[in-house]
Structure 1
Amino acid sequence: MASPLAGKKILVTRSEDQATAFIEKLKEESAIPLVAPLLSFKPRILYENKKIFTKLHDFTWVFFTSANGVKFFFNQLDYWGLSHSVIDKLNTAVVGKKTNDMLREFGFKADFQPENFQGRQMVQEFLQQYSQKERIILFSGNRSNDDIPRELEQNHVFFRKIVIYDTLLNEESRQQLLEYIENDIPDAYTFTSPSTIDAFLELTKVHEERVKSIKMTGLCVCIGTTTENKAIEEGFKHILVPDVFTIEGMTVELTNYFLMKG
């Protein structure tokens, strides 16, 4: 029996180094991935960050809110010639499974992972188990949302946020993306962060009317509620969000949608 996704053209906007697993999942369902990585990432190398890395013992917990945060954390340890073992005496918290998977790639595993993959809920679940007197260092990107810092501040938890990578618009994908939307090719548009929605709108702004039509009638699949809120804010009307905030969850949501649609 053919998959409900067979022949469906799915726009994949995730960064190139993170899109492979999603593309493979879609191909397993006989879908046609339309690949247009809208973002790229680069480390933010600052001498003041080196000083922070040498004083990690001042903190009791490290918070990672993305797989990129983990990757660039260890990359910067390598850049500054510091041992990965500096994290041994700290507890680590991750926002979700994929972040923990990346941590495992470096030989470590999280001491805390929330059941709900959202920043605000992460802090709430954390404080149900641990003291407000913990000292937290949070590593993130320049475009990471402020849900976790805001929640920590409201609960009077000491923390420091360090930006260790920058999220950049991938101009190289502009022409390919425009070709897709000019010809009304995608059956669904997938977004894995608020930043991918920002990038999509920036790279397609030359086609204002076409983008308006996509917002009104196009199928928009968001990886989680934070991305969903961004899509709603930007005017997308037809939005799906998986029960499990992963690319596997997105694939299941797409499959179920087209199964019901027939």
Structure 2
Amino acid sequence: MPKVNLPLDQRNIIITRSKEGILDIKKIFTSKGANVFDLPAISIGDPDDLNPLDEALNQINDFHWIIFSSSNGIKFVDKRLRYFNSSLKECSKKTKIAVVGEKTSKTLDDFGIKADFIPPEFVAESLIDNFPVSGYGLRVFVPRVQTGGRDLIADQFRMAGARVFEVAAYETRCPDSIPEETIDIISNRKVDAIIFSSGKTVVNAAFLLEKKLGKQWLDYFDQIKLLSIGPQTTKICNKIFGRVDSQAQKYTFEGLLDLAINIFS
């Protein structure tokens, strides 16, 4: 029987993400025939200091808007609210919620919450340009990653006259190692593409690869297609690898899947 609709059949693709986040993404690539290898380039946990987050959550019903730019922000804010016998769903009855990104929106849906605003494009700039009300006089809560995120949303709302509470809700850290099977396939030069889902995955993957393969680690990547999820990731990729082969048109993993299919079909 001929194989039906497997445009990535036998393609070896490395996905860089958090260990927890790779599973769902793996499924959409393997469903198109790809062999997927994990390179968990971030581990996700609480910020070093929870006090600023707790202070913000203590006044969560006084904010006009909460702006989430990542699924992790939603998960860690809800987790901490539950520690105080509340929940994000409960708070969403009084405070409006905006999200950047399709996956962030879906995560909010999974919590039983409908976003009050989703920008037409899944980038911070689109949220700022299309926000439904003036920022002037607003109290805005922006939960974010502790290090490495962008300040654009908070900065723009401050400039518009909003009072912004920008607080670390979680931190992404570099794992200790790379799975041996992933190192083996890189060493044997059998990788077709590596997918980067954020600037931090690029930086951490480079650190881990150099640690494992030595100073000449970049030599193993000369024939590998480097695929980026969006403009910020592309920027970091260019800085570290000196190139990006292609960037997803839609800044999601589905966009990256379409990109890989276009390249390898």
State the match for 1:34 in structure 2: 37
State the match for 1:188 in structure 2: 193
TM-score (norm 1): 0.90
The code of the aligned residue for 2:167 comes to I
| Higher mean displacement: 147-156 or 19-28 | 147-156
Distance 1:174 1:27, change over 3 A: closer
> What is the CA-CA distance between 1:12 and the residue it aligns to?
1.0
State the match for 1:75 in structure 2: 79
Please tell me whether the aligned partners of residues 120 and 151 of structure 1 are also in contact (alpha carbons under 8 angstroms). Answer: no
Please give the secondary structure, in 2, of the residue aligned with 1:171: coil
From 106, 115, 135, the counterpart of 1:110? 115
Rounded to whole Å, the distance in 2 between the matches of 1:218 and 1:73 is 38
The code of the aligned residue for 1:51 comes to E
Distance 1:80 1:185, change over 3 A: farther
State the match for 2:50 in structure 1: 46
Distance 1:174 1:20, change over 3 A: closer
Q: Which runs of 5+ in 2 are unaligned?
A: none
Deviations 1:98-123 (A, max 9, x none): 11111111111111111111112321
| Higher mean displacement: 199-208 or 186-195 | 199-208
State the match for 1:232 in structure 2: 238
Deviations 1:12-65 (A, max 9, x none): 111122112221111111110011211111123623422221211331000001
Rounded to whole Å, the distance in 2 between the matches of 1:190 and 1:173 is 15
Please tell me whether the aligned partners of residues 92 and 111 of structure 1 are also in contact (alpha carbons under 8 angstroms). Answer: yes
The code of the aligned residue for 1:138 comes to V
1:199 corresponds to 2:204: yes
> What is the CA-CA distance between 1:131 and the residue it aligns to?
1.0
Please tell me whether the aligned partners of residues 78 and 87 of structure 2 are also in contact (alpha carbons under 8 angstroms). Answer: no
Rounded to whole Å, the distance in 2 between the matches of 1:115 and 1:146 is 20
The code of the aligned residue for 2:237 comes to A
From 239, 250, 255, the counterpart of 1:249? 255
Please tell me whether the aligned partners of residues 182 and 210 of structure 1 are also in contact (alpha carbons under 8 angstroms). Answer: no
Please tell me whether the aligned partners of residues 174 and 204 of structure 1 are also in contact (alpha carbons under 8 angstroms). Answer: no
Deviations 1:171-207 (A, max 9, x none): 1426554333222231101011101001111101243
State the match for 2:216 in structure 1: 209
| Higher mean displacement: 235-244 or 108-117 | 235-244
Rounded to whole Å, the distance in 2 between the matches of 1:34 and 1:115 is 33
Deviations 1:63-98 (A, max 9, x none): 001011101110010122234412321110000111
State the match for 2:155 in structure 1: 150
State the match for 1:11 in structure 2: 14
Rounded to whole Å, the distance in 1 between the matches of 2:223 and 2:254 is 24
Distance 1:177 1:155, change over 3 A: farther
